[in-house]
């Protein structure tokens, strides 16, 4: 069995599995829910459909085109790095976590590049349709990233006696994210937890060789 599950094939399995799950969830949400529609799963977990122009967890810092091009450059660099570490036979866990980061970034690139062309706009009163007659809601590269996972684990008000924020509403955890964002976060956290020393050693050897 191990003869068939080479490090390269494991990486491809992770990439295709995560990418398919991510896109199936996004397309389903996009074509079945109104914009900002919410479905309560538990008190601390909601399916909340929203879209953003920015980076992971809805952050918006730079222009849309810049972000799309930056994602492509980043995915290309990570893909090159992944191919390199597979060829070098690095640890399987390390390869899996790098694959998660790569796939998460790739999943959001697909939204940015194609969703504006493939779908009509989602609104409070209109559910998006696939390949609408009048064309999509945006041009190539200007699509919005679909987000849907919302975990308001703690929702309360700050005590009145607290300076600056007293009496204000507080939510932990407030970002709304998607499966691709989760793959990126899990990959990064796992690398820091299990391969921080390994990362440092590898960086040292690469720098020394160059």
Q: Which of 22, 111, 147, 201 is catalytic?
A: 147
Looking at the predicted structure, is the pLDDT value of residue 38 above 90?
yes
Share of the chain above pLDDT 90, in %: 63
pLDDT for position 173? 72
Q: What is the pLDDT of residue 59?
A: 54
Structure confidence by residue, pLDDT tens digits, 95-126: 999 999 999 999 999 999 999 999 999 999 99
Annotation marks residue 22 as catalytic: no
Query: Given its phi and psi angles, is residue 141 left (phi above 0), alpha (psi -120 to 50 degrees) or beta?
Result: left
Least confident interval from 55-59, 147-151, 185-189: 55-59
Q: Does the annotation mark 181 as catalytic?
A: yes
* Residue-by-residue DSSP string for 27-86: HHHHHHS-TT-EEEEETTEEEEEEEESSSGGG---S-HHHHHHHHHHHHHHHHHHHHHHH
Express each pLDDT in 39-69 by its tens digit: 999 989 999 999 987 655 445 555 667 777 8
Q: Which among 22, 43, 111, 181 is annotated as catalytic?
A: 181
All structural domains of the chain with their residue ranges: 7-209
């Amino acid at each position: 069995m191990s003869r068939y599950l080479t490090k390269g094939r494991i990486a491809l399995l992770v990439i295709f599995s995560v990418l398919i799950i991510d896109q199936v969830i996004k397309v389903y949400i996009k074509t079945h829910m109104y914009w900002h529609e919410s479905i309560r799963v538990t008190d601390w977990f909601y399916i909340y459909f929203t879209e953003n122009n920015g980076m992971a967890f809805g952050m918006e810092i730079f222009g849309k085109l810049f972000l799309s091009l930056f994602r492509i450059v980043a995915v290309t660099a990570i893909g090159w790095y992944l191919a390199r570490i597979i060829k070098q036979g690095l640890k399987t866990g390390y390869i899996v976590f790098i694959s998660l980061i790569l796939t998460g970034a790739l999943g959001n690139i697909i939204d940015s590049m194609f969703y504006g062309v493939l779908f009509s706009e989602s609104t409070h009163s209109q559910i998006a349709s696939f390949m609408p007659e009048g064309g999509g809601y945006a041009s190539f590269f200007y699509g919005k990233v679909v987000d849907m996972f919302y975990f308001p684990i703690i929702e309360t008000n700050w005590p009145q006696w607290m300076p600056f924020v007293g009496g204000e509403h507080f939510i932990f955890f407030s970002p709304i994210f998607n499966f691709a964002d989760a793959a990126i976060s899990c990959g990064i956290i796992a690398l820091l937890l299990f391969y921080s020393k390994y990362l440092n050693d590898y960086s040292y050897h690469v720098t020394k060789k160059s």
